[in-house]
Chain A
Amino acid sequence: QKEVEQDPGPLSVPEGAIVSLNCTYSNSAFQYFMWYRQYSRKGPELLMYTYSSGNKEDGRFTAQVDKSSKYISLFIRDSQPSDSATYLCATANDYKLSFGAGTTVTVRA
């Protein structure tokens, strides 16, 4: 069983729509949860991270963690064409990050 599972999509939405991305994880010991954004032919860049359960908001982005169900979510409000990218969820454990497969999002103008 993979440590982090993520639906690879792809996901296509019109500009201005809300994008909803989800992951599940297997190890209840995980405490840190991250979302990375990866543009084509670039390395991943950290968008947001949360510690334990709860919500965190940063502008148009909201990350949620529900440790009881081992569920991680990212919401993008008022999506823009510049948000078109692959979004990777990840958990941190000691010295490494465990990534999901990534969901490719296209925001249509």
Chain B
Amino acid sequence: DAGVTQSPTHLIKTRGQQVTLRCSPISGHKSVSWYQQVLGQGPQFIFQYYEKEERGRGNFPDRFSARQFPNYSSELNVNALLLGDSALYLCASSFSVWTDSISRTLSGELFFGEGSRLTVL
């Protein structure tokens, strides 16, 4: 079975431009999350979507937006790019959303794609 797939794998943009990153989750997974990983740091949470609804948003400006489609794929959009937006953008899918009520199991376990590496010049 295919894992989480992301496109494009690499891209270069200039300041002020806009970018759209795409993610296809593992078949059967209904939740998609987006994380930003700056070089030398751990991933930072941006968004989670479940069943096409936003379930959570991290501490990112409104320039960042996302959506989930009926087939559970997702797009992350970043407007008015800044140099500081240069990072690896990771998409992760899970069968369901994480919650303590799920009998201490990891049905909310996140499976990460290989990421889209964005360079802003």
Give A contacts to B, CB under 8 Å. 4, 6, 8, 31-32, 41-46, 49, 51, 88, 90, 92, 94-102
Q: Which of A42, A43, A49 has the most CB of B within 10 A?
A: A43
Main secondary structure of the interface of A (DSSP, over half): strand
Q: Identify which of B40, B41, B45, B112 contacts A43 (C-beta below 8 A).
A: B112
Q: Which of chain B's residues has its CB closest to A93's CB?
A: B98
Could you write out 15 A-B pairs with CB less than 8 Å apart? A4-B42, A32-B100, A43-B4, A43-B92, A44-B43, A44-B90, A90-B42, A94-B56, A94-B99, A95-B56, A96-B98, A97-B43, A97-B110, A101-B40, A101-B41
Within 8 A of A (CB), among B61-99: 90, 92, 97-99
Tell whether, in the assembled complex, residue B56 and residue A96 are in contact, meaning their CB atoms are under 8 Å apart: yes
For the complex with contacts A43-B92, A96-B98, 18 further pairs of A-B residues with Cβ separation under 8 Å are: A4-B42, A8-B40, A31-B100, A41-B114, A43-B90, A43-B112, A43-B115, A44-B43, A45-B111, A45-B112, A88-B43, A90-B42, A94-B56, A95-B98, A99-B43, A99-B44, A101-B40, A102-B41
A98 to B46: give the CA distance in the assembly, Å: 11
A46 to B48: give the CA distance in the assembly, Å: 18
Contacts of A45 on B, CB cut-off 8 Å?
111-112
A97 to B113: give the CA distance in the assembly, Å: 15
Q: Identify which of B44, B98, B110 contacts A94 (C-beta below 8 A).
A: B98
Main secondary structure of the interface of B (DSSP, over half): loop
Give the top 10 A-B pairs by smallest Cβ distance, nearest first: A99-B42, A43-B112, A95-B56, A96-B45, A95-B48, A95-B55, A51-B104, A43-B114, A101-B42, A44-B112
Contacts of A31 on B, CB cut-off 8 Å?
100
Tell whether, in the assembled complex, residue A46 and residue B110 are in contact, meaning their CB atoms are under 8 Å apart: yes
Tell whether, in the assembled complex, residue B42 and residue A100 are in contact, meaning their CB atoms are under 8 Å apart: yes
Q: Which of chain B's residues has its CB closest to A41's CB?
A: B114
Q: Which of A4, A90, A97, A100 has the most CB of B within 10 A?
A: A97
Say how far B47's CB is from chain A's closest CB, in angstroms: 9
Say how far A105's CB is from chain B's closest CB, in angstroms: 15
| Interface 1/0 per residue, B97-109 and A, CB below 8 Å | 1111000101011
A49 to B36: give the CA distance in the assembly, Å: 22
